[in-house]
Amino acid sequence: MTEPLPFTLHLYRTLSAAAAPLAGVLSGRRLKQGKEDPARVDERRGNSKRPRPEGPLVWIHGASVGEVLAAAALIERLRALKFSVLITSGTTTSAAIVAKRFPPDVIHQYIPYDSPRFVARFLDHWRPNLALFIESDLWPNLILSASERRVPMVLINGRMSPRSFPRWQRAAQTIAALLGRFDICLAQSQADADRFAALGSRNVMVTGNLKLDVKAPPADSAKLDRLLALTRGRQVVVAASTHPGEEEILLAAHQRIAKHVPGLLTVIVPRHPNRGEAIARMVAASGVEAALRSHEELPGARIGIYVADTMGELGLFYRLAPIVFMGGSLVSHGGQNPIEAAKLGAAIVHGPHVFNFAEVYDALDRAGGARVADSEDMLVRQIGELLLDPEARKTAIVTAERVVDQLGGALERTLFALRPYLLQMRLEVGATDA
């Protein structure tokens, strides 16, 4: 039996309903900031130009790019089982990734603003048979309304960082009322499972991290061949998914290492591509020649820093460089996912702030598949040693690949946990057909 809602959620539902007329103002502001697609902004009100497909529909929701990509292998298996898949997310970058990386029959919609009216419109249109929420992007009206419609809900790849846990504890009753609506919580680790259980999740299971089972990202072979030809004979380092405050450190490290490694090329791939021009200006002001990929410039012989400010090309640059620095780790962002780089044969260097993927980095560091650098001096040392010692680099690459293989298996465990729901959907379809 579902517990009564706490006062906080009653208040939230009232206020969010009253705020619905302000959706146009919010959309307008986000459009000016480039955070909405003008052609699809009505999806934020729960409207859709796409029809609901016939038969059982699995709805998968993730906040942004990382969460959506984490579900890629799961989506592939669901499609193989003949289930239609609807993905929702909240960012234009994730929408672009879905369009680029998934088959056309995988439907993407922007998650509606969390007002009862918009959520009801969304659920009335799509009528999902199963809802899978990735990690911890929990919208109260969305969860409560789906629960009232008796849509089975499962939290998959559940993650609760040590930094987030105390904040959620301060709203214990509210969070418990939301987490209690999920049939199962499938957590990435035992630590995540313990935190979700403490916050009110029922039936918590540890299934592992789906991101460890994601296939390596693709690359355009013609573009890769061209870059390999342009950089032949040069040492190349990629700094992937960098954040503000990191590029300056990477530039200083590049300048110091280049004194010992002539012709060194550092490729900076900013997490947010719209920062590319500012990064290039900062590099040029230091006296290092830079080129911008978004301007269709190429890393010629005189270029020291190549700013790859485009979407969906990390697979290309991981294949170009044997050494990858994982961004978001020199600043307190929590680090980016190192799995794709490891699968594509990179020796990994990272900063100290990797709490978003703590267990993965811990396993890599302990085995020698990754190296930590907590300062500019250590960054220079770690990258420099990998550049100048081919055997150490090869050992790190092989070790990282082995660790990633050992950590896999979350996809099969997740599918096993979902099997009762998938069988029930098949039975319901059979009963309807009969």
CA 28 to chain centre: 26
Question: Chain-wide mean pLDDT for the chain?
Answer: 94
- Residue 359: its pLDDT value, please? 86
Whether residue 429 is predicted with pLDDT greater than 80 in this model: the reply is no
67 given a catalytic annotation: yes
Give the pTM. Answer: 0.80
- Residue 341: its pLDDT value, please? 96
For 327-352, the pLDDT digits (tens) are 999 999 999 999 999 999 999 999 99
241, two tokens? 């998914």
Q: Which residues contact 298 (CB under 8 A, 6 or more apart)?
A: 226, 227, 230, 291
* Overall CATH class of domain 221-407: alpha beta
Whether residue 434 is predicted with pLDDT greater than 80 in this model: the reply is no
Active-site choice (36, 43, 67, 246)? 67
Is there a common fold for 16-208+409-433 and 221-407?
yes
Q: What angle do CA 250, 252, 258 make, to 5 degrees?
A: 95
| pLDDT cut 90: percent of the chain above it | 88
Tell me the mean pLDDT in the region 202-207.
Answer: 95
Query: What's domain 16-208+409-433's architecture?
Result: 3-Layer(aba) Sandwich (3.40)
Whether residue 430 is predicted with pLDDT greater than 70 in this model: the reply is no
Q: For the chain, which residues make up each domain, given as ranges?
A: 16-208+409-433, 221-407
- Distance between CA atoms of 197 and 209, rounded to whole angstroms? 18
- Distance between CA atoms of 293 and 47, rounded to whole angstroms? 36
